[in-house]
Structure 1
């Protein structure tokens, strides 16, 4: 063995991971998860497995991605520790059978995410974003702790199964009070207005952090409400409030997405809108559709964020939208499909299914414009059809694993009315995106600066 080989071997041995004091909190969190699993204090549910699997998959991809993107960042080790801890806390939250343990994992994940948002510690914008995130998460944490305390006292147990059984059998005052608290916790975590500022300001963090948010963090509110579905169903007021805020978030997020020129800002606004769609689906009682939305949106949006760092858009705005008459044709097709579902008594999740169908049909129409001629073009044209079939198959599987609410919030025709309003707004949106219509300058300015609340600039000292 020559000197060069010895030097290389020594460097490789030195680069191996060794536990340090900074790793102790993550190791302790991992030990808690291992103890929870070995003692049998876990519950396997469709929502929990979906959340845990989503977190592990996206975190593994993001950590691999960040090794290259953050290779020159002196805080890359801290990022890896926080990301690993966030994944462990999310898995613990998804698999826990105890409400107190779930709440503890929820709180820990919020603190870890706030730390990730403030990754660039010397940058004032990052510190401000972390502070706003901590405030929003603290409000949600207090609401969740209050809900868990009320439910545990009413059921006489902190076991989630016992809490759900007690809420489903005899709804009490504690149950009806706890339901709105669960909704508040969900709104804060899912960045639903008025809590959407923390998500829009989190763009000060590196791109991998934005991707990690979709690894079961920002979409964990859907899991929470599905996990405590009997509690939510016990309060009609909470369900209506959730439905209303979901609609507001869907409209606001979609509107901001129209005007944001930066890729990450547009994706963050899209997340606000998509979380609104997910929560209104939960409010309707279509839990399988909401669960599939949580998983599919998390995977897709994390992929988009990871690719946004090197994205440069040089195409005209018209390339992003559908020109007439395609939006109207797609909207009418969706309405016809919704009426067919009503006639066949398969309309429990009519609203989310109709919105998903609209998205897939519009993607198909956009893809058709750039298809090459010949066999390759025909094969590409089949992709959206395959996506529709895949979504239908997965939704059927989710329905078998996760039942819907006993009582839907709206009748099928009520959902059809809401769907028609959304489709009308979507047609109007396509006119703006394609350049056929313009927003008023005042509205454009308001939407452009949504979430970017002015703050005082830091004072720099002249000391050497």
Structure 2
């Protein structure tokens, strides 16, 4: 049976690709069937979800071999895949809410897969509570929209929502934003995500590559409603910025491999939400897919990353030689990303911030490449700019393709005007990158302890007994 379920998921992936080709070749922007609506966003996300799920299913055939509940594991993993597909295809508010609730219940269940492990059950209970709160928030926001617009179709709701009065729209959007933040593990709701490491590694891979992305999917589906209020968009951006910064800092102080990846997910989900707050929902979907593929590979390979090493001596202070190499290459990479993705630098809108953050990411990557001491300095001087430019080209093409593919989906690319909060966030990120790049957080014991404490999972979900993991 477990191999049959794996084949089913791969067939769903093939169907998603064929559906995408069919929709691209047709004159219609979407296919509807009752409460379901299949558009470009649905097929793009379906292809990404089923591809990752297929890999996770195949990996689990060996990883879970010998597990006493292997059939129950595969049934739940396949059910999760189907529920996510239902969520992204749902065009009825009630169906969307039911799929959201089912996703949370199934995810909590597989996090507590090992029934005889008290820590796993504690993690499952914590997740159930948070997912219940998120579902309640989602239902509240959807109910307000349904009552205010008199519509039950998501497409009809988002078409009418911008015409609603400010207070009513705010009353609907704030609960939806809270639901998205909880599901994506954004700060300060990241506790359930950091405590979910009791899940089997394939579940962690699927969860971090797909299920936490549901928050971004929610924002993208209701994009026209969110972009109708500048204040709400600013709030979305700030929530994402705080999570991106906090998650990055928490990842710096983690000693556990999987927990470090979880903190990285908090940061990446924050960056995805930032893009939504800037009006680039299509770019956020491209980021969602690329991050999902990358994070799935990291989780599935987490076991091979565990090795005994001696602590490295770290010398505080900025690597000035590294900066001299990385920064010019990063600026060139940022400009290339702007040119390929079509983001305006001047006259500036919110696209400028995407270029700034892409440049910072490239600079950090350049510093990492500079540390490859086994490669000669002359070769690094040539290789670093080329590698960064290639990465910028790939990312820019991915964003441009996503924006082109989703051009028929309402509200997926609506650049916002730059304001003081957005500019302040860019300055804070740049200053933070220099501060933490210099390792100054390790010199400040108070700050280091606070970061270490903020990233700790619930104590009931952790054991210090090695043999307990083999239950």
State TM-score, norm by structure 1.
0.81
Identify unmatched segments of 5+ residues in structure 1. 1-14, 20-36, 459-464
Preserved contact between residue 326 and residue 366 of structure 2 (Cα < 8 Å): no
Residues 1:394 and 2:398 aligned together: yes
Counterpart of 2:137 in structure 1 is 143
How far apart are 1:208 and its partner, in Å? 1.0
- Rate the CA distance shift 1:343–1:64 in 2: closer, same or farther, 3 A: closer
Preserved contact between residue 203 and residue 264 of structure 1 (Cα < 8 Å): yes
**Which residue of the other structure, out of 255, 276, 281, is the alignment partner of 1:282?**
276
**Which residue of the other structure, out of 444, 453, 458, is the alignment partner of 1:453?**
458
- Rate the CA distance shift 1:80–1:317 in 2: closer, same or farther, 3 A: farther
- Deviations along 1:66-110, one digit per CA (max 9) or x if unpaired, are 111111211221111111011101111111222221111111111
- Deviations along 1:170-220, one digit per CA (max 9) or x if unpaired, are 446433211001101001101112211100000111111110113421011
How far apart are 1:443 and its partner, in Å? 2.9
- Rate the CA distance shift 1:299–1:129 in 2: closer, same or farther, 3 A: same
Residues 1:73 and 2:64 aligned together: no
- Rate the CA distance shift 1:366–1:224 in 2: closer, same or farther, 3 A: same
Preserved contact between residue 185 and residue 192 of structure 2 (Cα < 8 Å): yes
- Deviations along 1:341-362, one digit per CA (max 9) or x if unpaired, are 7653364322233222322343
How far apart are 1:282 and its partner, in Å? 1.0
Preserved contact between residue 2 and residue 61 of structure 2 (Cα < 8 Å): no
d(CA) in 1 for partners of 2:325, 2:422: 20
- Rate the CA distance shift 1:236–1:344 in 2: closer, same or farther, 3 A: closer
Structure 2 residue matching 1:195: 3-state secondary structure:
coil
- Rate the CA distance shift 1:307–1:100 in 2: closer, same or farther, 3 A: same
Residues 1:323 and 2:319 aligned together: yes
How far apart are 1:17 and its partner, in Å? 7.1
- Rate the CA distance shift 1:38–1:109 in 2: closer, same or farther, 3 A: same
State TM-score, norm by structure 2.
0.80
Counterpart of 1:195 in structure 2 is 189
Identify unmatched segments of 5+ residues in structure 2. 6-30, 464-471
d(CA) in 2 for partners of 1:197, 1:442: 21
d(CA) in 1 for partners of 2:324, 2:179: 38
d(CA) in 1 for partners of 2:386, 2:349: 26
- Deviations along 1:317-341, one digit per CA (max 9) or x if unpaired, are 759x983343477567767958997
Residues 1:427 and 2:434 aligned together: yes
d(CA) in 1 for partners of 2:414, 2:397: 24
Residues 1:292 and 2:294 aligned together: no
How far apart are 1:129 and its partner, in Å? 0.7
Q: Number of residues paired by the alignment?
A: 424
> Over alpha carbons, which structure has the higher Rg?
1
How far apart are 1:145 and its partner, in Å? 0.9
**Which residue of the other structure, out of 437, 444, 448, is the alignment partner of 1:440?**
444
- Deviations along 1:293-320, one digit per CA (max 9) or x if unpaired, are 111111111111111122135373759x
Cα RMSD (Å): 3.4
Q: How does 1:94-113 map to 2 (within 5 A)?
A: 94-113=88-107
Preserved contact between residue 200 and residue 268 of structure 1 (Cα < 8 Å): yes
- Rate the CA distance shift 1:328–1:82 in 2: closer, same or farther, 3 A: farther
How far apart are 1:387 and its partner, in Å? 2.0
Preserved contact between residue 288 and residue 395 of structure 1 (Cα < 8 Å): yes
